[in-house]
């Protein structure tokens, strides 16, 4: 059973068994749906944390750790996880595999659930470089110099060896990561 749009996991199966550990795995992003199906078919408890964010006045669901997830299983089932279709590798060093405390997984689950009711708001800060995606300056980079109370953003742009400033609507910008 998957929790829609926030977390991929079986919430009723978080076991606190002493023989089970939460292992960190690396997976192919484009095969996430197949991976979730394969993990469910093997009855693995797993977590792929997702959070709700508001970016440019749009609600989005994004992976908290893109390409990484957690699986709760005994050490004896680790080879089954390793060869599950969609998984690149299990994190570790040498013959030792990385595991995460159950408390950390519970905290992640709680924070992901919290983002459902109060999404994380992503907006540029003063000093960030942004890309203008609409208007006459489309595809140009600008630096944020101030945030206006009227939801407009003051930017500085260099054009023809001169710097000039202007205010722009947030939906005309995307953050340059």
- Per-residue pLDDT tens over the stretch 79-116: 999 999 999 999 988 888 888 999 999 999 999 999 88
Are 105 and 20 contained in the same domain?
A: yes
Contact between 58 and 121 under an 8 Å Cβ cutoff? The reply is no
> Rounded CA gap, 171 and 56, in Å?
5
- For residue 3, the model assigns a pLDDT of 40
Residues 106 and 168 placed together within one structural domain of the fold = no
Q: What is the pLDDT of residue 18?
A: 63
pLDDT digits (tens, 9 = 90+) for 16-68: 456 899 999 999 999 999 999 999 999 999 999 999 988 766 788 999 999 99
pTM, rounded to two decimals: 0.67
Q: How many domains does the chain have?
A: 2
Among 121, 146, 166, the domain boundary falls at 121
Residues 6+ apart with CB under 8 A from 157: 132, 137, 140, 141, 142, 143, 163, 164, 165, 166
Which of 80, 97, 121 is where one domain is finished? 121
Q: What is the pLDDT of residue 6?
A: 42
Q: What are the residues whose beta carbons fall under 8 Å from the beta carbon of 87, sequence distance 6 or more?
A: 25, 26, 27, 28, 35, 81
Tens-place pLDDT, residues 150-166: 778 889 998 888 998 88
Domain-located, residue 170:
yes
Same domain, 145 and 90: no
Q: Is the pLDDT of residue 172 over 70?
A: yes
Domain that holds residue 81: 7-121
Alpha helices in the chain (DSSP H): 32-41, 78-82, 102-117
User: Do residue 53 and residue 114 come from a single domain?
Assistant: yes
CA 108-113-114 angle, to 5 degrees, is 95
30 secondary structure, DSSP code: G
The CATH number of the domain holding residue 165 is 2.30.30.30
- Same structural domain for residues 81 and 152? no
Where does the pLDDT of residue 70 fall: very low under 50, low under 70, confident under 90, or very high at 90 and above? very high
Q: Are residues 116 and 133 in the same domain?
A: no
> Regarding predicted confidence, which is higher, 7 or 57?
57
Q: Are residues 111 and 137 in the same domain?
A: no
């Amino acid at each position: 059973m998957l929790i829609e749009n926030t977390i991929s996991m079986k919430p009723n199966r978080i076991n606190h068994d002493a023989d089970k550990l939460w292992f960190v795995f690396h997976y192919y992003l484009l095969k996430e749906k197949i991976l979730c199906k394969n993990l469910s078919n093997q009855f693995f408890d797993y977590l792929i944390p997702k959070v709700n964010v508001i970016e440019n006045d749009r609600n989005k669901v994004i992976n908290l750790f893109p390409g990484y997830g957690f699986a709760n299983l005994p050490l004896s089932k680790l080879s089954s996880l390793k060869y599950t279709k969609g998984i690149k590798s299990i994190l570790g060093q040498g013959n030792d595999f990385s595991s995460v405390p159950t408390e950390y997984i519970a905290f992640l689950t709680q924070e992901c659930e919290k983002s459902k009711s109060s999404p994380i708001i992503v907006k540029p800060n003063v000093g960030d470089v942004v890309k203008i995606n609409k208007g006459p300056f489309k595809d140009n980079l600008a630096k944020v110099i101030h945030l206006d109370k009227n939801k407009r953003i003051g930017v500085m742009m260099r054009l023809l060896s001169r710097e000039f400033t202007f205010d722009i609507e947030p939906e005309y910008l995307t953050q340059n990561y």
